[in-house]
Each structure stands twice: as C-alpha cells, then as structure tokens.
Amino acid sequence: MQGLYIIIIAASFKSFAWPRLLETDGDDAQDHSDRGIREDCLVQMAEDPQRNFRSHYYEKVGFRGVEEKKSLEILLKDDPLDVEKLCTFAQRYPLPSMYRVLVWKVLLGILPPHYESHSAVLTFRKEQYQDLLQALQVIRFVQDSTPQVWVYLRMYQLESGTLPRRPSQSLEPEDVVFIAIAEAMEEMVENDVDAYWLVKYFVNQFNNKYSDSVAHLPKSLEHYLNLEDSKLLTHLKTCLAMNKLPYDLWFMHCFAGCLPESSLQRVWDKIISGSCKILVFVAMEILLTFKIKLMAMNKAENIAQFLQNVSISESLILHNTTLYAISNMTMYIASQIMRIGK
C-alpha cells in the first residue's frame, strides 16, 4: 500500500495542482502550476533561509518533509509542552500520523501540557468513560448492540444535560453533526476512550470558538471564488445554486463523510490548531476541481446533489484537492504574516 501511495505521488510529481489543469492547456498549465509551487517555496524560504529549496519543492508535491517530523519531535520533548508552538506547527505542516492523537489531545485540552500529569489524567478519563457508559446502561439508553457512535452521542448528551426522555426521540440537527464527526473520528482512532474524548472536545471547541465565524463562511467562499474564478461563480449564481451548496456537510460537519480519511485528518489538524478558514479553501478547491461538470449543469438541485455525493467515487481527486487547498491556506497565512510585519 505504501508503495502504491509513493507511485501515485511520483506520477503527479510535476502536476501537484492537477485539478486546475482540467481547465487549462498542457504546457501553459504546467508552467503555471510549477511557478505557483516555486513561489510558495520562496515565501517559506524567505522566512527561514537555512531550509533547502528542493525540500520545499518535494513538500509541495506531496512528500512529507523529514525536517518537519524532527522539528515536531523536538517540540514534543519540551516539558511542559508549548501549546502555542504546537498550534503554529500544525497550522503550517501536516501532523505525522504517529503523533497526531497526542498533539490533538494536548491542543484540545484533553491532556495538560505537563507530561508528569498525563498518566493520572488518562486514568481519570478512562474512569469517566466507564462511569458514563454504566449510567447509560442502567437507564437502558445503550445496549451491547448499540453502535459505538451512538454510545458517544448518549455520553455527550448525558454530560451536557441534553439527554432526551426516550432513546427513540428524533435527533436534533446538532446530534446529526455529532454523529457524523464521531463516525469519522472512530475511523481515525483505535481506542474507544480516546475517540470519545476527541469527539467531545472537538465539537465543543468548534461550537465555542467558531460558532460566530461559521455563519460567514459561505460569504467568505463566495469572496475567494470570485477572486479565483469569477466565471464559475457567475454560473453558480445564475443557476441560483450558491444558496443550495452543501454548506452543512462542508462547514458544520467539517467535511466528515465527504473527504477520505487521510485528507480529513489534515483538514482537522488546521481546525484543532486554531483556524476554520481551511474549510473555505477546501470547499473552493472542490468547486474548482469539478468546474467542467458544474458548468454543464443548469439546475441548482442537480449541482447540490452532485456536490453532496461527490465523495462516493472521487476520493483520490478529493485527496489531491485537499492538499492543494492546504497549500493555498498556508500561502494565505504567510502573506498575512508578511503584511503584519510591514
């Protein structure tokens, strides 16, 4: 599987931004793609002149930088952990899979920065989990046959005081969001206890930190799409499709159930470390990636249905689209930092 992944990356080495190439002609498109990658490399090199240009180029075409992994390992040796530095790292680079759960726990507040407290806190979290599970079993809200994500939901409801009177009661919209995120998290994390606390803290962070921002994300998407491809935006507006795009799937579910796991993890790295703007960039890249198909549709309902179901058969495309979106957001952050510096 690893060999296949390397082959796929190597095959797209010279066309990392290949979704855009669907809309342009060969050589010009390739020149534009390579130029964009080189410009991004130069921006980062300007921030750190000691880094090698070739390593930056490899990173932009999909190869994980060894230097970044070493940098994270150095950060993880700090005691107490520097949460701000970990946030900055996660904003700029994808977290290595072997450290992702640990970093997520620290950034979300599940674990404290001090290593000496980790063992006691983990034991306490496990005991809390078992107490919640036992309580739900006593009142017959969960059984052995209850799907694990529903167990997480009932635990969350019990802790937050929103447990319904009857298990058969209809789900609220926020419950549907919770289950979608729980289903995605369950695929990423092997341990049920870890999965529950990650889902709970992820949902709480998103609701508390980004609740005011989420309402503005559709307008932000329209703004960036106008800058990137005004023709596509005009078409979507003419079809009255902008108000019918799957915003709940994209912005409330944080792409859970839409993106393949490896892509979703990278997106959630950014959300957990402090920015929901990545949701806008991924949504925009999805629209740009499928521009040809969208331009051929004239009904808002057809456009909405296509985008709602696109993940079923387009997982590889969406993975590359996500990488491109993350690259674009990194450039955006770098430009903002440079602007502040001036």
Q: Using 50, 70 and 90 to split pLDDT, how confident is the model at 310?
A: confident
Taking only the tens place, the pLDDT of each residue in 249-264 is: 999 999 998 888 888 9
Q: pTM here? A: 0.75
Burial class for 155, CB neighbours closer than 10 Å (0-12, 13-18, 19+): buried
Query: Per mean pLDDT, which range of 17-31, 47-61, 139-153 is the poorest?
Result: 17-31
Taking only the tens place, the pLDDT of each residue in 211-236 is: 889 999 999 999 999 999 999 999 99
Mean pLDDT value across residues 302-314? 78
pLDDT reported for residue 45: 38
pLDDT reported for residue 69: 85
Tell me the CATH number of domain 65-341, given options 3.30.420.140, 3.30.499.10, 1.10.472.80, 3.50.30.30: 1.10.472.80
**What sign for the dihedral angle of Cα 21, 27, 28, 31?**
positive
Structural domain boundaries of the chain? 65-341
Local structure of 29: helix, strand or coil: helix
- When the pLDDT of each residue in the chain is averaged and rounded to a whole number, the result is 80
pLDDT reported for residue 157: 97
CA angle 289, 328, 235 (to 5 degrees): 40
Give one DSSP letter per residue of 123-180, joined into a string: HHHHHHHHHHHHHHHHTTS--TTS-HHHHHHHHHHHHHT---SSTTSPPPHHHHHHHH
Q: Using 50, 70 and 90 to split pLDDT, how confident is the model at 39?
A: very low
Contacts of 32 (CB under 8 A, 6+ apart): 20, 24
Taking only the tens place, the pLDDT of each residue in 74-94 is: 999 999 999 999 999 999 888
Two structure tokens written together for 134: 């036992």
pLDDT reported for residue 167: 87
Question: Can you tell me the distance from the alpha carbon of 107 to that of 157, in angstroms, rounded to the nearest whole number?
Answer: 23
What's at 89, amino acid-wise?
A: F
Q: Using 50, 70 and 90 to split pLDDT, how confident is the model at 4?
A: very low
**Helices (H) and strands (E) in the chain — how many of each?**
19, 0
